């Protein structure tokens, strides 16, 4: 058995691994299809998927890393965010937004310097980290966000 957090409604579901492998697992609350390692890696989001992947996620925070491939500090925190995603256990979600390829979202949230990490919970922007941060600082902000009532 494995505990899987629904990416749609945030409900925790006990699921047999075999059902995850065959894509038969569905959330008991909302019926959304469940995937076992959905949050173990950062999800790449775009202007088109931002609303669904960041703002419509309920019950847990979503950290959106606003970055660009040419940015040295962005490349430095990339592995940190990979680690945090692997350690999330469904408590939060990590997403990456390339600001060069997605100017609408970058403009909407006034991203003036990168890396900038935006933390959303239940559709609301609740925190912003600007510049390269150590893993512990990012983890602490995510921990606070998990307790935040949006």
Domain span holding position 73: 43-147
Which token pair is 105?
């979202």
Asked whether residue 24 falls in the same domain as residue 57, the answer is no
User: What is the per-residue pLDDT across 54-79, written as a single tens digit (0 to 9) for each?
Assistant: 999 888 999 999 999 999 999 999 99
Region 37-46: what's the mean pLDDT? 79
Region 17-44: what's the mean pLDDT? 76
Rounded to whole angstroms, what are the CA distances from 78 to 54, 72, 102?
18, 10, 18
Beta bridge pairs of residue 120: 62, 125
The structure's pTM equals 0.74
Rounded to whole angstroms, what are the CA distances from 79 to 15, 31, 42?
29, 33, 10
User: For residues 111 and 59, what is the distance between their CA atoms, to the nearest angstrom?
Assistant: 25
Asked whether residue 17 falls in the same domain as residue 82, the answer is no
User: For residues 91 and 142, what is the distance between their CA atoms, to the nearest angstrom?
Assistant: 9
Asked whether residue 95 falls in the same domain as residue 62, the answer is yes
* Residue 148 pLDDT class (50, 70, 90 cuts): confident
Query: What CATH number corresponds to the domain at position 114?
Result: 3.40.30.10
Asked whether residue 24 falls in the same domain as residue 86, the answer is no
User: Active site residue: 6, 27, 66, 74, which one?
Assistant: 74
Asked whether residue 30 falls in the same domain as residue 60, the answer is no
Asked whether residue 129 falls in the same domain as residue 98, the answer is yes
Asked whether residue 30 falls in the same domain as residue 72, the answer is no
**Alpha helices, H only, 1-150:** 17-21, 50, 72-86, 103-108, 135-147
pLDDT score at 11: 81
Q: Give the 3-state secondary structure of residue 150.
A: coil
Asked whether residue 32 falls in the same domain as residue 63, the answer is no
Size of the chain, expressed as the number of residues it contains? 150
Number of domains in the chain: 2
Region 31-51: what's the mean pLDDT? 81
Region 96-107: what's the mean pLDDT? 96
Q: Which is more confidently placed, 148 or 112? A: 112
Active site residue 71: yes
Asked whether residue 57 falls in the same domain as residue 31, the answer is no
Query: Is the model's pLDDT at 115 over the cut of 60?
Result: yes
User: Active site residue: 6, 27, 66, 71, which one?
Assistant: 71
Active site residue 9: no
């Amino acid at each position: 058995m494995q505990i899987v957090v629904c990416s749609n409604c945030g409900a925790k579901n006990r699921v047999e691994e075999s059902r995850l492998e065959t894509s038969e697992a569905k959330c008991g609350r909302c019926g959304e299809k469940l995937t076992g390692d959905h949050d173990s890696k950062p999800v790449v989001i775009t202007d088109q998927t931002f609303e669904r992947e960041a703002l419509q996620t309920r019950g847990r925070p979503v950290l959106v890393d606003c970055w660009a491939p040419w940015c040295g500090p962005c490349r430095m925190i990339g592995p940190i965010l990979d680690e945090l995603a692997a350690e999330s256990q469904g408590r939060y979600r990590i997403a990456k937004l390339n600001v060069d390829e997605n100017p609408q979202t970058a403009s909407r949230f006034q991203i003036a310097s990168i890396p900038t990490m935006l933390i959303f919970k239940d559709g609301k922007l609740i925190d912003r980290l600007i510049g390269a941060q150590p893993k512990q600082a990012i983890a602490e902000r995510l921990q606070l966000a998990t307790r935040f009532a949006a």
